[in-house]
Amino acid sequence: MALPGLISVEDFFNPPTRAAATISPDGTRMAFLAPWKDRLNVWVQGLEPDADEPRCVTADDHRSVMHFEWTDDPRWLIYLQDTNGDENWHIHRVDLDDPDAAAVDLTPFPGAMAAPLREVRNGTTTVMLNNRDATLLDVHRLDIATGHLSLIATNPGHVNGWLCSDDGDVFATSLTPDGDVELSRWDSATDTLQPIVRFDGSDYPVGIHPLVITPDGTGVWLGSHRDTDRSRLVRVDLVTGEETEVDSHPELDIDPRAIVSPVIPAPLIQDRRTGDLLGVRYFGERQVIRALDPGFGDILTNLENLSDGDVGRLSSDESGSRWVVSFNHDRDPGATYLYDHGTGESRLLFRPMPHLDPEQLAPMRPVTITSRDGLALHSYLTLPVGVQPEGLPLVLVVHGGPWYRDSWGFDAGVQMLANRGYAVLQVNFRGSLGYGKAFLKAAIGEFAGKMHDDLIDGVHWAVEQGYADPDRIAILGGSYGGSAALVGVTFTPDVFTAAVDYVGISDLANFMRTLPPIARPHLANNWHAYVGDPDDPEQLADMMARSPITKVDRIRTPLLVIQGANDVRVVQAESDNLVAALRARGVAVDYLIQADEGHGAVNPENVIEMWDAVARFLARHLGGRA
């Protein structure tokens, strides 16, 4: 037996040939992302088999475009872009009728962040925008054709989220002084918020999700944990606050991932024309979609017959007849189909990475590991193809957040590692989203404690099962995962042979104090609740005791640190200070700074540079292929 041929880092991380396709409202065209000058840009093409060649409609040769959407006017398309990863998103408009017209920045305010609150209807949308005060997101109405912005609700200082009905009614979520989440109506006559209902804030460390106004504007669909461990979908009356169950799964939470990652499809599937609820996504080992509309149930059955992957990005025309669907799959990423429910016909539109042979890639297998205190840790194990799964070098890959989760599907980094001969283990440690609120809250006060024990228990399991060589174990992660890597080499230095920290936290107090101003007022139910408040001396002392920066003298494990210079979440000082402390001790540390990236590399040359550094570093210390 032998590993398959070495697949280059470039083949894993070059831009996809096409990706993220959505169908136009009239069902005649699709928009998708594809490379232009080595940057992902938006392209448009007709859906008929004899359609003209696709046309590139954006022209950003500096930074890849990642987020776009159709409007209800076939002339306009909008997309979001920031500057070198600073996360100050601006909304840009593209004129599809004038190929030579430059894109127009509809929110041209330096240093401000804008985000649409709903789809464009009747030529307008509502947007959150902090051009008045960098710490406060207000609500504006945006006319797409003219670019006119009009202020319709002013943030009184404690609002952390807005939503808007098609009729123009505005609602807000905000934190109360005792940490509850309050849903309120904006009263434009008095410029005040009128409370509707409260929820236990500790159930929502990253906010209520999902949170969608019903089509008639009289209610809101949201994920509720009231009197239940697993989240269920309820309708809250926007006058009385009465809560009525809409749907639930006996074992699974509503898929929580989209609140953290905007590239993940929203959990509620709605009719494009009416907004009616068609289905709800839940997630366990794999995705489960519950169809709430019989007609959509028939469509879903036919869609799911197209692939053995999970339904990913999904869009239809306004008639609900033609659908464009992509699939999440561990070895065949993003295969995208056109399905016509009227004729029952379907055809493959594209595979984003056609150069990758699924047979050469490694299956991702769900496994359940029991923690030392009895919790079920739902995890994923990926074993290299072509070799005996015994005594392998292991890479423990830790997800970010920590309020996120690993899930089944294609992960280019995991596949790159498996192709180089590593077993890869991803552990959904306590505090990960999607496993009920008891599992979530089991992480309170456990940073560098039981959260880390869960990871170590995962490593011990892999060794006991015979998969992993205990003398060749690496830990790798980004954001919280990067911090976990640093905890690994300071709190448990004997476990790991090598470690990779990507934009990870080294100093918990400095991290919280340097978060963007817009984020700091909303830490009560996440970082303050789970880790501590640096303005409280007793809590500060505990936070520093849990911070890797105070224990650099314990580090003897080879370490690679990677940092985006424009990271506004985990600032460069988090990595600089750690590296400086190690070098002052004469400890060698590999340090890669990417000058034009933020909290996660986007441009392909930077992504490739990062993973090439990872591959070479791990080969040097664990013995895998480079």
Sign for the CA dihedral angle at 417, 511, 204, 517 comes to negative
Q: Distance between CA 54 and CA 43 in Å, rounded? A: 6
Query: Which entry of 67, 92, 378, 599 is annotated as an active-site residue?
Result: 599
- Cβ contact 600:541 at 8 Å: no
Q: Distance between CA 19 and CA 107 in Å, rounded? A: 26
- Cβ contact 408:382 at 8 Å: no
Question: How many residues make up the chain in this entry?
Answer: 626
Strands 322-328 and 29-36 turn out to be unpaired
Alpha helices in 89-237 (DSSP H): none
Q: Distance between CA 93 and CA 102 in Å, rounded? A: 9
- Cβ contact 64:70 at 8 Å: no
Structure tokens belonging to residue 95? 């004129």
CA of residue 556 relative to chain centroid, distance: 33
In sequence order, what E strands does 274-419 have?
277-283, 287-291, 310-316, 322-328, 336-340, 345-350, 364-370, 376-382, 392-398
Query: Which entry of 138, 453, 507, 567 is annotated as an active-site residue?
Result: 567
Q: Distance between CA 533 and CA 290 in Å, rounded? A: 40
- DSSP assignment string, 550-613: GGGGG--S-EEEEEETT-SSS-THHHHHHHHHHHHTT---EEEEETT-BSB--SHHHHHHHHHH
Residue 106 DSSP code = S
Query: Which entry of 479, 506, 547, 575 is annotated as an active-site residue?
Result: 479
- Cβ contact 451:443 at 8 Å: yes
- Cβ contact 341:320 at 8 Å: yes
Q: Is residue 452 flagged as an active site residue?
A: no
What is the H or E stretch that residue 510 is in? helix 508-513
Q: Is residue 567 flagged as an active site residue?
A: yes
Instruction: Express the helix, strand and coil content of the chain in percent, nearest 5 each.
Output: 20, 35, 45
Q: Is residue 62 flagged as an active site residue?
A: no
Catalytic (active-site) positions: 479, 567, 599
